[in-house]
Amino acid sequence: MGTDPFKTEASPWIRRFAPLVRQGGAVLDVACGGGRHSRLFLDRGHPVTAVDRDIAQARLADGALRIEADLENGAPWPLAGRRFAGVVVTNYLWRPLFPHLLDSLEAGGALLYETFALGNESFGRPRNPDHLLGRGELLDLARGLTVVAFEDGIEDGRKVVQRLAAVNGAGPAAL
């Protein structure tokens, strides 16, 4: 499940921690959906690579390098060897990608991740536990990174989410 292609405003979490991404550094927007986070980083002067299985929906990512790829079909990671100053993932979870996401971070690169967690099934979709993070799972993912911020809980009484902002290496100089 990628980002809702009809949302146009960037997530407040991603906007808040976008300054962690090195100025002018390349950004990878995974499961970009409509391209709302691609647009945020393009507007901030970053080159963006946007990946989704239906890249035609990424209308807000105009100006990004758009790659159509089904990340869940067992095909090789389409960005092997590429490094990014920022990796952004929202409303998407495919656990086999975790090693690729971490490997895609350059030294000092920021991982900004936000998606649904266990308990969300009480509020709506997604309900499948394969698409819901376990308690603290993003912290486990970030082992080896410097965690800048982490949230795990119910938001607005309507969904359960986890959010992470982490840096590959020493913490940020300033926020």
Which regions of 79-126 does DSSP assign to beta strands (E)? 84-90, 105-116
Confidence of residue 77 (pLDDT cuts 50, 70, 90): very high
Q: Is 129 exposed, middle or buried (0-12, 13-18, 19+ CB in 10 A)?
A: exposed
Confidence of residue 171 (pLDDT cuts 50, 70, 90): low
Please report the domains of the chain, with CATH numbers, ordered by start residue: 12-167 (3.40.50.150)
Contact, 89 vs 30, CB < 8 A?
A: yes
Integer Cα distance of 107 and 38 in angstroms: 21
pLDDT over threshold 80, residue 118: no
Integer Cα distance of 106 and 68 in angstroms: 23
Confidence of residue 92 (pLDDT cuts 50, 70, 90): very high
Q: Which two tokens stand for residue 131?
A: 């698409």
Give the chain's length. Answer: 175
What's the pLDDT score for residue 64?
97
Contact, 55 vs 77, CB < 8 A?
A: no
pLDDT over threshold 50, residue 146: yes
pLDDT over threshold 70, residue 173: no
pLDDT tens by residue, 1-27: 444 444 689 999 999 999 999 999 999
Position with higher pLDDT, 166 vs 3: 166
Nearest to 173 by CA among 4, 19, 10: 19
pLDDT tens by residue, 52-76: 999 999 999 999 999 999 999 988 9
Confidence of residue 174 (pLDDT cuts 50, 70, 90): very low
Contact, 35 vs 10, CB < 8 A?
A: no
What's the pLDDT score for residue 159?
87
Position with higher pLDDT, 38 vs 5: 38
pLDDT tens by residue, 119-145: 777 787 888 788 888 899 999 988 899
Integer Cα distance of 123 and 112 in angstroms: 24
pLDDT over threshold 80, residue 36: yes
Nearest to 114 by CA among 11, 39, 6: 11
Peptide bond into 126 cis (omega under 30): yes
Query: What percentage of the chain exceeds 70 in pLDDT?
Result: 92
Integer Cα distance of 156 and 21 in angstroms: 28
Contact, 34 vs 57, CB < 8 A?
A: yes
